[in-house]
Amino acid sequence: MDALKVIVSGGKDHYGAWAKDVKGIYGVGNTLDEVKDNVKDAIALYLEYNESAPDVLKGNPEIELIFDITGLVKYYSQFITLPAMENLTGVNQKQLWQYANGYKSPRKETADKIEKGLKHFAQKLECEEIAV
């Protein structure tokens, strides 16, 4: 069974989320676990009030979280400071803060730059070997 794809966006106080391919499934939360729980509640309500439902909602659907750029920056700013993220991406930390808190959305070129910088950093982490 395919997973329900849920887009996660960043905001000032929380994350917002919505199902990519099923209208009416939304969630919100301070953490990604809260978002998933909220989406599960939304699925239950959807199934309760709709006679027919897409196959992806039947049974115990797996939820796949997909970040938009605002959600990505908000999530990773918990682990990587904005000045460090600026060094990784080449995007000014004030802009990153605005994206993470939902005040602005980056242009496609800027979003690509952020994604590329963070993925490059992740690849570097995977390549490191630690002697114990």
**pLDDT computed for residue 126 by the predictor:** 85
**pLDDT computed for residue 2 by the predictor:** 84
**pLDDT computed for residue 1 by the predictor:** 61
Give yes or no for a contact between 67 and 11, defined as CB atoms under 8 angstroms apart. Answer: no
Handedness of CA 54, 26, 115, 130 (dihedral sign): negative
**Rounded Cα distance, 42 and 91, in Å:** 36
Give yes or no for a contact between 25 and 17, defined as CB atoms under 8 angstroms apart. Answer: no
Domain 4-67 has CATH 3.30.2390: yes
Q: How crowded is residue 66: how many other Cβ atoms within 10 Å of its Cβ?
A: 13
pLDDT digits (tens, 9 = 90+) for 37-88: 999 999 999 999 998 989 899 888 899 999 999 999 999 999 999 999 999 9
**pLDDT computed for residue 5 by the predictor:** 96
CATH code of domain 69-127: 1.10.260
pLDDT digits (tens, 9 = 90+) for 8-37: 999 888 999 999 999 999 999 999 999 999
Domain positions in the chain are 4-67, 69-127
